Amino acid sequence: MGTIYDDQDYKNLMNGNYYPLENMKRSVARLKISNQIDIETMEYGQYQPILSPLDMWPNGSGKVWFKALGRARLALAAQPNITPLSNDERVVVPATKCALLDASIRKCFNSEPPIPMKADITQHQKDAPNSDQHEIRLVWEYGNGEDQAPTLLNLTMVCPHAAKPRQADASVEARQERSEK
């Protein structure tokens, strides 16, 4: 399912909510007044449909969001983590990759000022190690030294390798029908 999110229009839509800082501030304000989420306890995947309604996502990608999200969260929750949250919070080491992702998201949205984020979605190459697994890559940028609060999160979600669908079968509906059989 990663192929549908490895799309520049989708990435631009999402990143427009988190970057630059002014956009992130607007998104934080929207989430704080929303009755659909608690910004202090939110998890990766919960805020995207609030900031950009699913029916507005390019190429029908909103139609399969919760299915793709659930699979990614299950896969990442099964992967142990030894990476600290960030250089300024080295003692915080979430137990799983999913918990690390959630903590990073909360750090971005709940910091004062919020920390802008740039998200990228890609897929493993067919011959890559663990090409059947989800992976996250979190790279914090620090404007005032490595021990200070971060100024940007570069978040990459790497989805399992999937063969590119044939052009005639490329619609979301065709892929959904095949997966339900």
How far apart CA 130 and CA 161 sit, in angstroms, is 9
- The identity of residue 14, as a single letter, is M
Rg (Cα) of the chain, in Å, rounded?
A: 17
> What SS3 class is residue 128?
coil
Which pTM value belongs to this model? 0.88
Question: What pLDDT, on the 0 to 100 scale, is given for residue 148?
Answer: 87
What is the pLDDT tens value at each position of the chain, 181 positions in all? Answer: 678 999 999 999 999 999 999 999 999 999 999 999 999 999 999 999 999 999 999 999 999 999 999 999 999 999 999 999 999 999 999 999 999 999 999 999 999 999 999 999 999 999 988 899 999 999 999 987 777 899 999 999 999 988 665 443 445 544 554 545 4
Question: What pLDDT, on the 0 to 100 scale, is given for residue 163?
Answer: 66
- For residue 20, is the peptide bond before it cis, meaning its omega torsion is within 30 degrees of 0? yes
Question: Does residue 2 contact residue 160 with C-beta atoms inside 8 Å?
Answer: yes
Question: What pLDDT, on the 0 to 100 scale, is given for residue 146?
Answer: 74
